[in-house]
């Protein structure tokens, strides 16, 4: 079996992802480029019986000179011949309805001496616009194979595969001559680094900071040489762009036989009149947000209950089948519930990303950026921060990864910093049980459910905290980098459903694997902390409970649950819970709640399960049992109930603001290249949680 590496490059909105999906179907995986944080999307495509192509989907870019974290990888991939990701062939995906902006990158890639096939995509729209292209002349002028494709229905894919199977020679076309001032230096670099083309060596000069494969000593050498020749990165780039576009303009004058009718975008412009209207635009946007909310809460409930029940049953069944012992306990009580705790969020995440994918596919998301940019800038972010913030309602992990499209570092950092304040789906089970506990199930004016209003209030509170924190950061964080927004507003079109499906699969996978591995690891650790303790206390458990049954304090049928509760109280987690009691007492929490705070440090949803164990409810499926048990709990100091309104509200505040998600910290560390920001985030959010809880408890108690 022969194996090729093929890279897909092209501008955003060129249908590149659809083409990738057409070529690879479900054979996709997401990894990381070695050494850098950018996501690497690859897939396998069977070209013929004995040739496979590994297709690498690159972020959409207009030119080799990058502006965002995402874009940096493209120059890197095409300049590092020794890398395992270096492609044998390149498919340049062009938007047929706008060849001009699609071809800039092509002219640059040709000068890197890459074997390229030009795929003219979206031929359906091009035809609709009334445009005709002379493909033969285009192919001759560029000296490379050209193929027309429609990535929506797969037309032209077979032809594209055939071209990929045959050898593709490097185009001999030249576009840009490097300025004579710097040419001797470039030629020296070419020899020194053993490169094939001058343009490749020129990229070493222009992009020395972006190419991570160049060693530090070589970087210093390049920078010193550049300085000596009066060169700085960015110099000549404008001139280069103009020269390339001159060539492209002349070429297009020759190959576009019939130009597009100007009125083909009329419908799209009319839709824009409504969707970006100063009243309707916002009403529609908030309507869509409301619909998304409704969907996450209502539609996800049934599958979530099913998952919950299945994992509980699996765990119980395994407990019956396996002999008891520390190893099997780890599986049935640590690992299985740990995995269940991850899978349970899949329905909500899938639904949210289904909506986001549809909105992106249709071109509506760019309009949201357009509508919200001015407002978001007041809060130190950009219009592009809206999608990550909305995603934060499902899960902060894919949300933080979605910030990679934000070019400006400060805008991106602020978005990353405040996204975890958006109430994610893991907070929901905690909110649900606490609200049920302290808010009466009555209706305001016979219509609005108090519990529903409370829940909405908590989401609003998280959102406001995110916005206010962002505003504060805007004043604190300093940057020299200029923030900008230059973005295409693509023509509206109906969504490509297979793209939507594949996006859902991809985002869900990201969550399950990125968040999953941390949640699983920590839940095992916490299980150990909650199951083991100083051995004398643990072995006494059974004896103590038996004694209490004999003197009649505990009913015999509660024996098992009471033993578990006793063990948890005397475990390492219990010891930690007790030791933090003085700190959390002013918030209205006792050491039992302290244990739940400790165990939910890795993942907040663990709260409910821990409460169930500690109050020896035993079985966590039945929320009403937990609720009524919590209601009965007496505070020994006051003689009244432990879960007063004040304590409940205080706990709600804590769970709204606290950073209780190890996976998010891990992702923030990766995305910001260090521990500084995740640690600041942890301190800030925990501090915010602590003081709001303190305030609320002191006011209400």
Partner 1 sequence: MANSTKTVAQMLPGEAAVVSSISTGELANKLLEMGFLPGSAIVYNFSAPFGDPICVSVSGYDLTIRLEEAAMISILN
Binding footprint of partner 1 on the chain (CB under 8 A): 62-63, 65, 67, 97-101, 104, 234, 237-238, 241-242, 245, 260, 265, 269, 272-273, 276-278, 281-282, 366, 369-371, 373-375, 383, 482, 484-491
- DSSP H helical ranges for 194-279: 198-206, 216-228, 237-255, 266-275
Relative to beta strand 116-121, strand 146-148 is parallel
Least separation in angstroms between CB 150 and partner 1: 19
Least separation in angstroms between CB 272 and partner 1: 7
First to last CA, the chain: 73
DSSP state of 217: H
Report the alpha-carbon angle 155-77-28, nearest 5: 45
Q: What whole-number distance in Å separates Cα of residue 632 and Cα of residue 652? A: 19
Least separation in angstroms between CB 623 and partner 1: 44
Q: Which is nearer to partner 1, 256 or 521 (CB)?
A: 256
Q: Mapping DSSP to helix (H, G, I), strand (E, B) and coil, where does residue 445 land?
A: coil
Q: Quick one: tokens of 294?
A: 């409704």
Count CB-CB contacts under 10 A for residue 100: 14
Least separation in angstroms between CB 194 and partner 1: 29
Q: Which is nearer to partner 1, 100 or 645 (CB)?
A: 100
Q: Which is nearer to partner 1, 126 or 496 (CB)?
A: 126
Q: Which is nearer to partner 1, 274 or 683 (CB)?
A: 274
Least separation in angstroms between CB 491 and partner 1: 8
Least separation in angstroms between CB 75 and partner 1: 14
Q: Mapping DSSP to helix (H, G, I), strand (E, B) and coil, where does residue 197 land?
A: coil
Q: Which is nearer to partner 1, 82 or 278 (CB)?
A: 278
Relative to beta strand 2-10, strand 39-48 is unpaired
Task: Provide the edge-to-edge strand list for the sheet that holds 28-32.
Answer: 28-32, 39-48, 51-57, 2-10, 89-95, 116-121, 146-148
Least separation in angstroms between CB 282 and partner 1: 7
Least separation in angstroms between CB 653 and partner 1: 33
Q: Which is nearer to partner 1, 52 or 483 (CB)?
A: 483
Query: Contact at 8 Å (CB) between 697 and 647?
Result: yes
Least separation in angstroms between CB 115 and partner 1: 24
Distances (CA, A) of 350 to 309, 357, 549, 561, 689: 19, 10, 48, 36, 29
Relative to beta strand 146-148, strand 132-133 is unpaired
**What is the DSSP code string of 498-557?**
HHHHHHHHHHHHHIIIIIHHHHHHHHHHHHHHHH---HHHHHHHHHHHHHHHHTTSS-GG
Least separation in angstroms between CB 255 and partner 1: 14
Q: Which is nearer to partner 1, 257 or 695 (CB)?
A: 257
Query: Contact at 8 Å (CB) between 625 and 619?
Result: yes
User: Under the phi-then-psi rule, with left for phi > 0, alpha for psi from -120 to 50, and beta for the rest, what region is 40?
Assistant: beta
Q: Which is nearer to partner 1, 276 or 546 (CB)?
A: 276
Q: Mapping DSSP to helix (H, G, I), strand (E, B) and coil, where does residue 146 land?
A: strand
Q: Which is nearer to partner 1, 169 or 273 (CB)?
A: 273
Q: Which is nearer to partner 1, 283 or 291 (CB)?
A: 283
């Amino acid at each position: 079996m022969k194996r090729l590496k093929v890279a897909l490059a092209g501008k955003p909105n060129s249908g590149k992802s659809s083409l990738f999906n057409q070529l690879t179907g479900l054979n996709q995986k997401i990894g990381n480029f070695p050494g850098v944080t950018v996501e690497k999307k690859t897939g396998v495509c069977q070209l013929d019986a004995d040739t496979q192509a590994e297709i690498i989907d690159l972020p959409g870019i207009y030119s080799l000179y990058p502006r965002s974290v995402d874009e940096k990888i493209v120059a890197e991939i095409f300049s590092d011949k020794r890398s395992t990701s270096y492609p044998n062939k390149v498919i340049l995906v062009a938007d047929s309805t706008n060849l001009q902006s699609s071809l800039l990158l092509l002219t640059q890639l040709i000068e890197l001496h890459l074997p390229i096939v030009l795929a003219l995509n979206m031929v359906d729209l091009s035809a609709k616009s009334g445009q005709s292209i002379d493909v033969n002349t285009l192919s001759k002028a560029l000296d490379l194979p050209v193929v027309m494709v429609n990535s929506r229905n797969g037309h032209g894919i077979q032809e594209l595969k055939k071209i990929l199977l045959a050898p593709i020679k490097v185009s001999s076309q030249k576009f840009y001559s490097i300025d004579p001032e710097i040419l001797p230096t470039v030629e020296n670099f070419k020899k020194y680094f053993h490169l094939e083309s001058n343009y490749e060596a020129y990229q070493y000069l222009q992009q020395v900071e972006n190419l991570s494969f160049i060693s530090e000593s070589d970087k210093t050498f390049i920078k010193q040489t550049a300085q000596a020749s009066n060169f700085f990165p960015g110099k000549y780039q404008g001139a280069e762009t103009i020269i390339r576009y001159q060539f492209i303009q002349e070429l297009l004058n020759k190959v576009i036989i019939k130009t597009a009718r100007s009125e083909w975008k009329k419908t799209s412009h009319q839709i824009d009149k409504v969707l970006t209207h100063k009243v309707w635009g916002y009403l529609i946007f908030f309507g869509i947000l409301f619909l998304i909310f409704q969907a996450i809460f209502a539609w996800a409930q049934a599958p979530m209950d099913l998952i919950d029940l299945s994992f509980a049953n699996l765990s119980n069944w395994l407990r019956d089948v396996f002999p008891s012992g520390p190893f099997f306990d780890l599986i049935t009580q640590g690992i299985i519930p740990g995995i269940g705790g991850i899978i349970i969020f899949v329905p909500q995440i899938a639904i949210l990303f289904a909506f986001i994918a549809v909105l992106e596919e249709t071109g509506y998301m760019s309009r949201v950026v357009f509508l919200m940019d001015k407002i978001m800038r007041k809060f130190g972010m950009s219009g592009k921060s809206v999608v990550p913030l909305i995603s934060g309602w499902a899960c902060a992990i894919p949300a933080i990864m979605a910030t990679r499209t934000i070019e400006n570092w400060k805008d991106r950092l602020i978005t990353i910093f405040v996204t975890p304040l958006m109430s994610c789906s893991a907070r929901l089970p905690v909110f649900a049980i606490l609200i049920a506990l302290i808010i009466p199930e009555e209706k305001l004016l016979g219509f609005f459910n108090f519990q529903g209003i409370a829940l909405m209030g908590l989401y609003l509170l998280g959102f406001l905290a995110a916005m206010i924190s962002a505003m504060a950061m805007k004043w604190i964080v300093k940057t020299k980098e200029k923030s900008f927004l230059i973005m295409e507003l693509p023509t509206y079109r109906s969504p490509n459903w297979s793209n939507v499906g594949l996006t859902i699969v991809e985002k869900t996978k990201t969550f399950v694997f990125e968040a999953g591995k941390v949640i699983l690891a920590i839940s095992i650790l916490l299980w150990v902390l909650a199951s083991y303790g100083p051995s004398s206390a643990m072995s006494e458990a059974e004896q103590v409970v038996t004694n209490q049954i004999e003197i009649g304090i505990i009913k015999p049928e509660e024996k098992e649950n009471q033993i578990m509760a006793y063990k948890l109280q005397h475990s390492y987690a219990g010891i930690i819970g007790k030791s933090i009691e003085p700190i959390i007492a002013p918030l209205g929490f006792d050491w039992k709640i302290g244990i739940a705070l400790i165990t939910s440090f890795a993942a907040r949803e663990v709260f409910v399960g821990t409460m169930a164990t500690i109050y020896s409810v035993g079985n966590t499926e039945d929320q009403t049992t937990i609720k009524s048990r919590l209601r009965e709990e007496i505070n020994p100091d006051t003689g009244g109930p432990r879960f007063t309104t004040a304590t409940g509200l205080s706990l709600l505040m804590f769970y709204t603001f606290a950073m209780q998600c190890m996976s998010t910290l891990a992702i923030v560390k990766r995305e910001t290249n260090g521990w500084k920001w995740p640690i600041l985030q942890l301190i800030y959010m925990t501090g915010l949680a602590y003081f709001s809880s303190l305030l609320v408890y002191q006011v209400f108690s």
